[in-house]
Structure 1
Amino acid sequence: MSTKGKKSLVVFSAHSGDFVWRAGGAIATAVAQGHRAHVICLSFGERGESQGLWKQPGMDIETVRAIRREEAQKAADILGASIDFLDLGDYPLSIDDQAFDTIVDLLRAANPDSIMTHVANDPYNRDHNLAHETLLKARMVAQAQGNKTKHPPIGAPQVLMFEPHQSEMCGFVPGLLLDITDVYEKKSAAMNVMSAQSHLIDYYQDLAVRRGVQAVRNGGAKSIRYAEAHQMLFPTVRSAVL
């Protein structure tokens, strides 16, 4: 398949549910517009983010990992994204030198125009903070001309931070209200396969509605019903004010 004219979105997800709840609409939108979307999933969230599974009698960690992987793969397929699983553990997430080098290689292979990841400071989940810092460090290294790998250096992709679970506690200020109305059914379907965290489905459905209302209030089309909030990390460049 030709990639001419296609752009590339990478979603850098600490746990296997994060990309679904927080960036599923962005992924589905990019794919609907003819672009490529790839998820780098650092952990299955098997220890701290699989409450629904650990409540089941006789559950063990390998079964949790397998279920989480299967669910995340199904969600990625629904959204139209490819996905790499690095299986780096959670609570706490641990990224050694070998894993970091793999992340750099994956970034170069994807050659992203934009990257989505977590906020810098989530006081409730420090795995998210490590994912954020690792992404910025890997982005820097992936840009380095003197770092010779199989794939060439990347440019300077924008980094967007997707909305955390409790935004007011994380210093999150939306810079982009993304209309996901046309792809919301896909995001909803992807969320519904994440049985290990099914308690979050209603929360993120309600959040999409609230952000949709805000999108209309901020000048968006009156047809917007659902939206996602994201915060840009780097300045955007324009040739005019209007």
Structure 2
Amino acid sequence: MNILSVAAHPDDTEILCAGTLIRYAREGHRVTIAAFTNGSMGDLVIKPEEMGAIRKKEAQAAADLIGAKLIWPAVADEQVFPDQQHRAIMVDILREADPDIIFTHSPNDYHPDHRYVSQLVFDAYSQKGLPFIPHQSLPPCRLDNAQIYYMDNVCGIRFMPSEYVDISDTFELKKQMLCCHKSQLKDMKDEANTDVLELIETQARFRGLAAGCKYAEGFNRLEAYQRGLTKRVLP
């Protein structure tokens, strides 16, 4: 299968669903990580152009750890909107990845970039396989019904998973992927007094309690017309 994670910022995928992606990669599936923005606004000193280049290198290093493909449209950080321009970019991301399973942010996440990326995935979904959608750079992909899964919110706030994935055997590699994002780990510590590695371990342990394992990631599958599912597709 083709597995796609579409997240707003570099490191969002690693925080919220990397353990699951590693399981897919180990099973031989094709994994693609799309960071919708370049993460360029996260530092108080380093200018956006330089910061964006740093974040891209870090994202590529994380993807390389599991043999995943990186899609980097370089949308300006903190400037995501559910408009025609950004929908066209999202349609092309979906066409390039041709996914069977899509992971993206929950619609009620805390950050506007997260929420709008989630909406753009929903809005672009039905257009990925249509040949005459204007303003597209890539040809249409399959019209098959890809399954969309919403990732857990950071800290699990107002998110009740309907499905869990046991990441006990992949959690250490998940941490290694996150550690590739050195600039973000530093900025979160300096600016928000947040240890992101501690955060993901606390959340994975908490979800693991509900799932009956040491570490877990939680998801909600999008329930919508023409996206029915009669079997579990999560690993």
**2:94 matched to 1:104?**
no
CA distance in structure 1 between the aligned counterparts of 2:142 and 2:31, rounded to whole angstroms: 19
In the alignment, which residue of structure 1 is the partner of 2:149? 160
CA distance in structure 2 between the aligned counterparts of 1:117 and 1:211, rounded to whole angstroms: 18
In the alignment, which residue of structure 2 is the partner of 1:236? 229
Task: Tell me which of 93, 107, 132 is aligned to 1:120.
Answer: 107
Deviations 1:19-43 (A, max 9, x none): 1100111111110111011112111
**2:125 matched to 1:144?**
no
Larger mean CA deviation between 66-75 and 196-205 belongs to 196-205
CA contact (8 A) 2:22 2:170 kept: yes
- Unaligned 5+ runs, structure 1: 1-6, 217-223
In the alignment, which residue of structure 1 is the partner of 2:215? 226
Task: Tell me which of 7, 21, 28 is aligned to 1:27.
Answer: 21
Percent identical across equivalent pairs?
Answer: 26
TM value normalised by structure 2: 0.83
CA distance in structure 2 between the aligned counterparts of 1:66 and 1:229, rounded to whole angstroms: 31
Read off the aligned partner of 2:18 and give its amino acid letter. Answer: G
The structure-2 alpha-carbon separation of the partners of 1:226 and 1:80, relative to structure 1 and needing over 3 Å to count, comes to farther
Task: State the shift of 1:90 in Å.
Answer: 2.0
Task: State the shift of 1:232 in Å.
Answer: 0.9
Read off the aligned partner of 2:126 and give its amino acid letter. Answer: M
Task: State the shift of 1:102 in Å.
Answer: 3.5
In the alignment, which residue of structure 2 is the partner of 1:221? none
1:228 match: secondary structure: strand
Structure 1 runs of 4+ with >6 Å offset: none
Deviations 1:26-73 (A, max 9, x none): 1111101110111121112221xx3xx43xxx5222221111111111
CA distance in structure 2 between the aligned counterparts of 1:145 and 1:162, rounded to whole angstroms: 30
1:37 match: secondary structure: strand
TM value normalised by structure 1: 0.81
RMSD value, Cα: 2.1
- Unaligned 5+ runs, structure 2: 186-194
